[in-house]
């Protein structure tokens, strides 16, 4: 991929926008996007955010948010949505542009059954639920029959030769953290926001002088998309050259009633950039891995698990830029992409230079003016997606590869002042300069895929994109008002039982 771009884009922040290569209509950012990952939802990464913290007083920090386990119905008991103790969840940072991780935050989970029992007649009998009727209002409360805990390891450099050290609680030095149980309902957990808030930790991060913050737990799903109609051959109201009032709000958000599981970590920006370097740009992506072998136990119980995992870690999920595997990678290569690393992205180059989804949009809506761009290779997408936009978020030295890139020198926009369309609307603190929860990447990527950058003469010309000026939208609106102004930014999850 390094030699794909034959003519560089003009360095223009106003229009340098965009990104994501993407190609068109949309689904959930990365929910059930490949055949194999659909079989193992606990390892399915759904959204990745990386942005300068906009909570007042935290502007020198970067927030990393990795969401997993999609399409959670709040009432989905009785075991709800625990993360997999046999999986390795990671957030990777590349701070020198070589498409290899320089810092990785590794999360491992442990679920311990407390074996709560009720006296029934003359016997004590283990109860069948994860709650026992006691209060759930603090860390590791007596009312829970399962304790969910996790640890975080910070790995630097090469996995075989780099350093590894545990992240620890700044209050007591412990390397073990409790995860709150999911929002079972208002009777079991009357004040879920307060209960979950007790699981936000100040943490010491190895190699960083400045403490950070950590939270892992269920949140309201942060993505918004008109999901059902997208799958139904992009069954939106036909895009029109003349933009209709309120078009961006005229469809339902099919994730409005779903929760998600969030891994959130706030780290000082100075701890993420390369030591001694003047380059403020970092790249990031998430992965989940499972052991290569699994042996099922025909007689689990009495301390023996249902399976035995072993062998090398094998990556099964990957997420950097939103919507890539859904809308760009061909069906036959979706599992391959999830198992791949950014340094090997050359194998997927054709999906970027000659994307198929704009062609699909033209097939479905060409009669109303939605013509696909005609510039091939799509340098307007390649440069922005694979290298970062020059003058905005391109590293000083860069190997073309797919990941989310953030210029940590660009100040954050406070809540209420953020523009939902990010850079293409003049807000350089937003997508594709990193990604904030309130960035409406669906609408942004629809427009860029159909040639928005060409209308700005960035790597192509207006004549290359007949539909480049159309304000494409899926109709599911999203902006920063859907979130909070403080870490971990994503809202309290919906309760399984809304009754008080």
Check residues 384 and 251 and name the one with the higher pLDDT: 251
Q: 239: pLDDT confidence band, cut at 50, 70 and 90?
A: low
Tell me if residue 79 falls in helix, strand or coil: coil
- pLDDT at residue 330, as a whole number: 86
In a domain, 210, yes or no: yes
In a domain, 22, yes or no: no
* pLDDT mean across residues, the chain: 88
The region of weakest confidence among 112-121, 140-149, 245-254, 265-274 is: 245-254
Of 201, 206, 183, the C-alpha closest to 193 is 183
The two structure tokens encoding residue 295: 């042996």
In a domain, 278, yes or no: yes
Find, among 50, 52, 17, the residue nearest to 410 by Cα. Answer: 52
Q: How many CB atoms lie within 10 A of CB 360?
A: 17
Cβ neighbours around 441 below 10 Å, total? 30
Least confident interval from 17-21, 30-34, 70-74: 17-21
Hunting for tokens 């109709």 — which residue is that?
A: 475
Q: What is the pLDDT of residues 281-297, one digit of tens each?
A: 999 999 999 999 999 99
Number of domains in the chain: 1
Look up residue 19 and give its DSSP letter. -
In a domain, 495, yes or no: no
- Report the C-alpha gap between 247 and 226 in whole angstroms: 13
pLDDT of residue 245: 65
Q: What is the pLDDT of residue 27?
A: 43
Considering the entire predicted model, what is its pTM?
0.91
Residue 230, in any domain of the structure: yes
Cis upstream peptide for 377 (omega within 30°): yes
| Burial bucket for residue 13 (CB in 10 Å: 0-12, 13-18, 19+) | middle
| pLDDT band at residue 46 using 50, 70 and 90 as cut-offs | very high
Band (23; pLDDT cuts 50, 70, 90): very low
Helices (H), 10-104: none
User: What pLDDT was estimated at residue 367?
Assistant: 80
- Say if residue 494's pLDDT is above 60: yes
280 Cα distance to chain centroid: 22
Domain span at residue 357 reads: 37-464
> What letter does residue 356 receive in the DSSP assignment?
S
Spatial separation of the C-alpha atoms in residues 319 and 49, rounded to whole Å: 10
276 lies in some domain = yes
Sign of CA dihedral 478, 484, 489, 490: negative
Tally of helices (H runs) and strands (E runs) in the chain:
9, 16
**Portion of the chain with pLDDT greater than 70, in percent:** 90
Whether 220 and 259 have beta carbons less than 8 Å apart is answered as yes
Report yes or no on 20 lying in a domain: no
Instruction: Quickly state the pLDDT bin for 366 (edges 50, 70, 90).
Output: confident
Q: What is the pLDDT of residue 7?
A: 33
pLDDT digits (tens, 9 = 90+) for 409-452: 999 999 999 999 999 899 999 999 999 999 999 899 888 889 98
Residue 339 has pLDDT above 50, yes or no: yes
Cβ atoms of 348 and 321 closer than 8 Å: no
Residue 310 lies in a domain: yes
What does R_g of the chain's alpha carbons equal in angstroms?
A: 23
């Amino acid at each position: 991929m390094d030699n794909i771009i034959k003519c560089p884009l003009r360095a223009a922040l106003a229009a340098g926008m965009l990104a994501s290569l993407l190609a068109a209509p949309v689904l959930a950012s990365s929910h059930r996007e490949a055949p194999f990952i659909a079989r193992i939802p606990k390892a399915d990464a759904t959204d990745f955010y990386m942005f300068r913290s906009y909570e007042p007083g935290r502007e020198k920090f970067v927030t990393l948010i990795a969401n997993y386990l999609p399409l959670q119905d709040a009432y989905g008991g009785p075991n709800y949505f625990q993360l997999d103790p046999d999986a390795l969840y990671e957030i990777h940072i590349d701070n020198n542009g070589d498409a290899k991780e320089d810092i990785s935050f590794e999360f491992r989970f442990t679920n311990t059954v407390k074996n709560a029992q009720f006296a029934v007649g003359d016997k004590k009998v283990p109860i069948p639920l994860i709650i026992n009727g006691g209060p759930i209002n603090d860390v590791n409360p007596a009312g829970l029959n399962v304790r969910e805990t996790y640890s975080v390891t910070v790995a630097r450099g090469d996995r075989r030769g780099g350093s590894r050290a545990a992240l620890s609680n700044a209050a007591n030095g412990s390397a073990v953290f409790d995860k709150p149980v999911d929002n079972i309902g208002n009777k079991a957990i009357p004040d879920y926001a307060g209960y979950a808030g007790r699981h936000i930790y100040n943490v010491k991060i190895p190699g960083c002088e400045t403490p950070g913050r950590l939270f892992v737990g269920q949140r309201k799903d942060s993505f918004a998309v008109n999901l059902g109609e997208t799958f139904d051959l992009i069954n939106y109201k036909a895009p029109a050259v003349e933009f209709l009032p309120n078009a961006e709000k005229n469809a339902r958000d099919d994730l409005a009633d779903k929760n998600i599981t969030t891994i959130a970590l706030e780290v000082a920006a100075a701890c993420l950039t390369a030591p001694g370097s003047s380059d403020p740009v970092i790249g990031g992506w998430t992965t989940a891995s499972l052991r290569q072998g699994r042996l099922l136990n025909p007689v689990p119980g009495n301390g023996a698990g249902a399976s035995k995992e072993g062998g090398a870690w094998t990556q099964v999920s990957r997420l950097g830029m939103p919507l890539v595997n859904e809308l760009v990678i061909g069906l036959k290569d979706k599992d391959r992409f999830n198992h791949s690393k950014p340094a090997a992205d050359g194998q997927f180059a054709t999906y970027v230079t000659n994307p198929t989804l704009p062609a699909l949009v033209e097939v479905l809506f060409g009669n109303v003016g939605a013509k696909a761009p005609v510039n091939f290779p799509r340098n307007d997408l390649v440069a922005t997606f694979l290298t970062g936009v020059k003058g905005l978020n391109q590293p000083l030295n860069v190997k073309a590869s797919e990941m989310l890139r953030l210029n940590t020198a660009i100040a954050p926009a406070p809540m209420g002042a953020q523009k939902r369309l990010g850079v293409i609307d003049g807000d350089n603190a937003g997508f594709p300069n990193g990604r904030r929860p309130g960035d409406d990447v669906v609408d942004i990527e629809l427009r860029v895929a159909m040639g928005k950058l060409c209308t700005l003469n960035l790597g192509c010309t207006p004549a290359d994109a007949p539909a480049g000026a159309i304000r494409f939208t899926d109709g599911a609106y999203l902006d920063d008002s859907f979130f909070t102004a403080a870490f971990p930014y994503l809202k309290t999850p919906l309760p399984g039982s809304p009754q008080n």
